[in-house]
Amino acid sequence: MIRAAEACACPIEEVGPAMAVSCPGQFLLFMSILESFINGRCDLADPCNRIKSRDQLDDSYDFVVVGGGTAGAVVAARLSENPQWKVLLLEAGGDEPIQSAVPSWVTAYWGRNDTDWRYYTEPQEKACLANGGICSWPRGKMLGGCSVINGMMYMRGHAADYDGWAVNGAEGWSWFDVLPHFLKSEDNKEIGSGVSSQYHTTGGLMPVQKFRYAPQFAHDVVSAAIELGYPPTSDLNGETITGFTIAQAMNDGGSRYSSARAFLRPAAHRENLHVLLNAMGSRVIIDPLEKKVTAVEYIKNGETKTVEVIKEAILSAGTLNSPQILLLSGVGPRETLDKFNIPTIQELPGVGQNLQNHVGVQLSFRLTKEPDVPVLNWATAMEYMLNRMGPMSGTGMSQLTGIVNSRYAPSGGRHPDIQFFFGGYYATCGDGVVPDDVKVKEITDKKEISISAISLHPRSRGYLTLQSVDPTQPPLMQPNYFYDEHELDVLVEAAQIAYKLANTTIMREKYGMTPTEGYGSECEGGGLSPTPEFFRCLAQHQTAPENHQVGTCKMGPRTDPMAVVDMQLRVHGIKGLRVADASIMPTVPSGNTAAPTIMIAERAAEFVTTRYQQAKRTPAELGNRFGHPSDSSANNENRPGGFGTYSQENKDDKLTDNETNKNHQWDQRWKPWDKNWHGWHEWQNKANSDWHKNNPQERSQRYYD
Ligand SMILES: Cc1cc2nc3c(=O)[nH]c(=O)nc-3n(C[C@H](O)[C@H](O)[C@H](O)COP(=O)(O)OP(=O)(O)OC[C@H]3O[C@@H](n4cnc5c(N)ncnc54)[C@H](O)[C@@H]3O)c2cc1C
């Protein structure tokens, strides 16, 4: 039963390109029908809250945010909470397609020119050899950026990651400092059922919870890991940070929440927030004498235009584009700028350097007792169409993850260095047919699943630079995968763990799990018990390059010659310019990077807000600068991150030593997690004393609570 489009409060407009064409030909009819159904649902299309691109811009804005991705959507939404500020968000792509809200269609927008930057690395000597050494790096090119094409997994990384940042110069970014900002955006729907209020909170703009559906096989892998001796955990962001679990994800009501959906759409009707889609920021224009940003240059419909910046420009174009924009603006290593005849405004050798990414080996297994029946059919589609349940409401095996220590991990166990990701059981494409039992028995193909074993603490460092002064050309990306062989050492051990997992009783007896025959035949020493050399070779051929690129606009003090931004994310030496996205991370955290990026964006907005403190005014006093004095967002004294008590505007643009401390005081006025915060200290003591106990029996019972 296909239902007609619903009558929503606002008419539904089809947004973004169709997804059905990304499925192979035989699936097209069924997928097109399904897609037209999805397009007509109010909860998925969300027509009343969609962001409208402006036809006309004002000449100037207080803040111009370049890049409306994971971080940029948050920054623009937060800054526009102040109705006195005019904010412009420039995004190179369009709005997020309606179908991207369906969790199981996670890969539908990869590899397409209209929704993915389709970046590729320089040829690698030791990685991605099965693809001629070229690794593919998908990046979301639309409002929400990578948060529209990612797996939605909600991982924060570990306390040791952030403490490491702080110890190495990023003062004010220790775990103690960043945790409140993770919590600020979080609306965790499962507190008390799998996750604890000691680590999570409610009330933020991003809904976080497990998907409504996970394949039985994913649950069984968790059991297999317990059989291997890994501690049961229902929350790798909680007390037990190692083990395997079905992770929480950024979703609600059976659909994806990108950062644009969570943060920007609630701000869609603010008149002080202008969004220009399909507009590529090409340069920041900086007065060379004052070294102050005056305007942002952008390209729209082939025309180059500028918009004046009154207070600040904020680059949120991501790890691969924010440094590109800096270089094009004359900020970066002098030799690069000279090579491309770009006048040097500020020499910053670190721009584009320190490129880091997680890297892994992709393993392939067959489940010889599971016929390869497509997961997506009429029955499973109906579950989603009627109730937003079933396989379409999840990401198959991708929602499962595991984090463990290799023997190379720092002692103490609080900074594990291997993560596992899984692939398979996807409800992406199908032809609708529900096979009966007889047909299923006739199917001879067996299910294939993949395990990517990832090194979380890579030592190899790459770089990014220009290959052209044309801003529409991609930058040159050199990750130098496996330049430091440490990653290969870790991956050998990680792959051995994956093989042990496949050989547990439940995996063997229930699923007949076995390494895929012929996979990795380019490497010697394979088979059921491969040699370490086989895994080293496999990692270099079947590389899992991950999508957690960070570090190209590294945060650090002025004394660090490679630092690009200071601890308030201001570009060193330039007034009125910040970078707020994954590029500022000094090192990649031990986990997925979307939640840390949102945390960074939250902090960036708070730094800006604190810097330009406004006098407290009543909504009536706020004046009519934007023609709507009673915008409800003006009256937000009690809202998290809102602004209630401000002193007069701070004229001093210098870094003040205790600004970070001021932020903390400010946070404490609104933060709703005081209870948890105190719990945190208790936990720290408890966790440390409990660490070696590891009683699987007791923990196993707790896991199923
Ligand atoms: C396929 C994939 C799967 C992933 N899975 C997960 C996961 O499950 N969990 C997780 O935590 N992390 C995951 N990640 C990583 C995570 O999504 C990213 O680290 C994070 O989203 C990066 O955010 P960002 O704001 O730095 O960049 P982006 O989200 O990429 O935002 C950059 C934005 O800027 C725009 N832009 C770029 N250049 C310009 C320009 N010149 N002018 C205007 N706009 C511009 C882009 O179009 C984009 O919208 C995944 C990433 C990918 C690609």
Range 16-30 average pLDDT: 88
d(CA 680, CA 177): 12
d(CA 434, CA 84): 57
318 lines ligand 1 (CB under 6 A): yes
Q: Does residue 90 have a pLDDT over 50?
A: yes
281 lines ligand 1 (CB under 6 A): yes
Q: Which of 121, 67, 575 is nearest to 282 (CA)?
A: 67
Q: Does residue 619 have a pLDDT over 60?
A: no
Is residue 698 assigned to a domain? yes
The confidence score (pLDDT) of residue 360 equals: 98
- Span from the CA of 701 to the centroid of ligand 1 (angstroms): 38
69 lines ligand 1 (CB under 6 A): yes
280 lines ligand 1 (CB under 6 A): yes
The confidence score (pLDDT) of residue 451 equals: 98
Mutate which of 329, 593, 599 for ligand 1? The one with the most ligand atoms within 8 Å of its CB, which is 593
Q: Give bridge partners of residue 578 from the DSSP assignment.
A: 314, 570
Confidence of residue 261 (pLDDT cuts 50, 70, 90): very high
Q: Does residue 365 have a pLDDT over 80?
A: yes
Is residue 125 assigned to a domain? no
The confidence score (pLDDT) of residue 3 equals: 60
Q: Does residue 266 have a pLDDT over 90?
A: yes
Is residue 453 assigned to a domain? yes
d(CA 88, CA 571): 20
Sign, Cα dihedral of 670, 673, 675, 681: negative
Relative to beta strand 206-209, strand 249-252 is antiparallel
Q: Residue 348, exposed/middle/buried by CB under 10 A (0-12, 13-18, 19+)?
A: buried
The confidence score (pLDDT) of residue 45 equals: 95
d(CA 683, CA 696): 20
At 680, which helix (H) or strand (E)?
helix 674-690
Task: Identify the residue whose C-alpha is closest to ligand 1 atom 24.
Answer: 318
Confidence of residue 359 (pLDDT cuts 50, 70, 90): very high
Q: Are 187 and 207 in contact (CB under 8 A)?
A: yes
Q: Does residue 641 have a pLDDT over 60?
A: no
- Span from the CA of 307 to the centroid of ligand 1 (angstroms): 24
Q: Residue 192, exposed/middle/buried by CB under 10 A (0-12, 13-18, 19+)?
A: exposed
- Span from the CA of 140 to the centroid of ligand 1 (angstroms): 6
149 lines ligand 1 (CB under 6 A): yes
Residue type, 546: E
71 CA closest ligand 1 atom index:
25
256 lines ligand 1 (CB under 6 A): no
d(CA 211, CA 395): 8
72 lines ligand 1 (CB under 6 A): yes
280 CA closest ligand 1 atom index:
42
Kindly report the backbone phi and psi dihedral angles of residue 508, in degrees, each rounded to the nearest multiple of 5, phi listed first.
Answer: -70, -50
Range 158-162 average pLDDT: 97
- The pLDDT tens digits of the residues spanning 50-77 come to 999 999 999 999 999 999 999 999 999 9
Is residue 640 assigned to a domain? no
Q: Are 214 and 220 in contact (CB under 8 A)?
A: no
- The pLDDT tens digits of the residues spanning 202-225 come to 999 999 999 999 999 999 999 999
Could you tell me which residues come within 8 angstroms of residue 248 by beta carbon, excluding any fewer than 6 positions away? 153, 154, 188, 190, 195, 208, 209, 210, 235, 237
145 CA closest ligand 1 atom index:
49
Q: Are 282 and 297 in contact (CB under 8 A)?
A: yes
Rounded to the nearest 10°, the torsion over CA 321, 592, 365, 425 is -90
- Span from the CA of 356 to the centroid of ligand 1 (angstroms): 15
Judged by phi (left if over 0) then psi (alpha if -120 to 50, else beta), residue 576 lies in left
Q: Does residue 688 have a pLDDT over 70?
A: no
90 CA closest ligand 1 atom index:
43
65 lines ligand 1 (CB under 6 A): no
Length of the chain, in residues: 705
588 lines ligand 1 (CB under 6 A): no
- Span from the CA of 112 to the centroid of ligand 1 (angstroms): 15
The confidence score (pLDDT) of residue 437 equals: 85
The confidence score (pLDDT) of residue 25 equals: 85
Say whether 482 sits in a helix, a strand or coil.
coil
The confidence score (pLDDT) of residue 698 equals: 30
Q: Does residue 412 have a pLDDT over 50?
A: yes
66 CA closest ligand 1 atom index:
43
107 CA closest ligand 1 atom index:
1
d(CA 497, CA 228): 9
Q: Tell me what percent of the residues of the chain surpass a pLDDT of 90.
A: 81
The confidence score (pLDDT) of residue 456 equals: 98
Residue the block writes with tokens 């680059």: 315
Q: Which of 51, 102, 38 is nearest to 254 (CA)?
A: 102
CATH number at residue 415: 3.30.410.40
76 lines ligand 1 (CB under 6 A): no
Token pair listed for 223: 């059991």
Range 80-107 average pLDDT: 97
Q: Are 209 and 252 in contact (CB under 8 A)?
A: yes
Confidence of residue 368 (pLDDT cuts 50, 70, 90): very high
Q: Where are the alpha helices (DSSP H) in 503-643?
A: 505-511, 532-541, 594-611
Relative to beta strand 249-252, strand 273-276 is unpaired
Burial code (b: 16+ CB inside 10 Å, e: under 16) for 434-453 equals eeeeeeeeeeeebbebbbbb
Q: Does residue 693 have a pLDDT over 50?
A: no
At 220, which helix (H) or strand (E)?
helix 216-228
Q: Where are the alpha helices (DSSP H) in 295-388?
A: 322-328, 334-339, 378-387
Q: Tell me what percent of the residues of the chain surpass a pLDDT of 70.
A: 86
Q: 651 versus 463: which is more confidently predicted?
A: 463
Is residue 701 assigned to a domain? yes
Q: Mean of the per-residue pLDDT values for the chain?
A: 88
- The pLDDT tens digits of the residues spanning 512-544 come to 999 999 999 999 999 989 999 999 999 999 999
Confidence of residue 663 (pLDDT cuts 50, 70, 90): very low
d(CA 212, CA 384): 10
Q: DSSP letters of 367-393?
A: EEEEE---S-BHHHHHHHHHHS-SGGG
Range 97-119 average pLDDT: 96
The confidence score (pLDDT) of residue 6 equals: 87
Mutate which of 146, 245, 277 for ligand 1? The one with the most ligand atoms within 8 Å of its CB, which is 146
316 lines ligand 1 (CB under 6 A): yes
139 CA closest ligand 1 atom index:
53
d(CA 705, CA 701): 7
Residue the block writes with tokens 């809904």: 207
Per-residue H/E/C for 265-290: HHHCCCCCEEEECCEEEEEEEEECCC
Mutate which of 150, 206, 401 for ligand 1? The one with the most ligand atoms within 8 Å of its CB, which is 150
Q: DSSP letters of 227-240?
A: HHTPPP-S-TTSS-
Token pair listed for 199: 């680590």
Q: Does residue 240 have a pLDDT over 80?
A: yes
d(CA 626, CA 635): 15
68 lines ligand 1 (CB under 6 A): yes
Burial code (b: 16+ CB inside 10 Å, e: under 16) for 196-212 equals bebbbbebbbbbbbbbb
Q: Are 77 and 294 in contact (CB under 8 A)?
A: no
Residues of the domain holding 217: 211-246+359-457+482-544+673-705
- Span from the CA of 227 to the centroid of ligand 1 (angstroms): 36
Residues involved in catalysis: 548
Q: Are 275 and 89 in contact (CB under 8 A)?
A: yes
90 lines ligand 1 (CB under 6 A): yes
Kindly report the backbone phi and psi dihedral angles of residue 300, in degrees, each rounded to the nearest multiple of 5, phi listed first.
Answer: -135, 130
- Span from the CA of 582 to the centroid of ligand 1 (angstroms): 8
Mutate which of 51, 70, 322 for ligand 1? The one with the most ligand atoms within 8 Å of its CB, which is 70
Q: Does residue 172 have a pLDDT over 80?
A: yes
Q: Are 102 and 392 in contact (CB under 8 A)?
A: yes
Total domains in the fold of the chain: 2
- Span from the CA of 440 to the centroid of ligand 1 (angstroms): 40
> Percentage helix, strand, coil, to 5, in the chain?
30, 20, 50
- Span from the CA of 51 to the centroid of ligand 1 (angstroms): 18
Is residue 196 assigned to a domain? no
Q: Does residue 639 have a pLDDT over 50?
A: no
Confidence of residue 91 (pLDDT cuts 50, 70, 90): very high
Is residue 318 assigned to a domain? no
Residue the block writes with tokens 């915008």: 631
- Span from the CA of 658 to the centroid of ligand 1 (angstroms): 31
Task: Identify the residue whose C-alpha is closest to ligand 1 atom 31.
Answer: 69
Confidence of residue 1 (pLDDT cuts 50, 70, 90): very low
Is residue 685 assigned to a domain? yes
Relative to beta strand 513-515, strand 359-371 is antiparallel
The confidence score (pLDDT) of residue 614 equals: 54
The confidence score (pLDDT) of residue 413 equals: 87
- Span from the CA of 290 to the centroid of ligand 1 (angstroms): 32
610 lines ligand 1 (CB under 6 A): no
549 lines ligand 1 (CB under 6 A): no
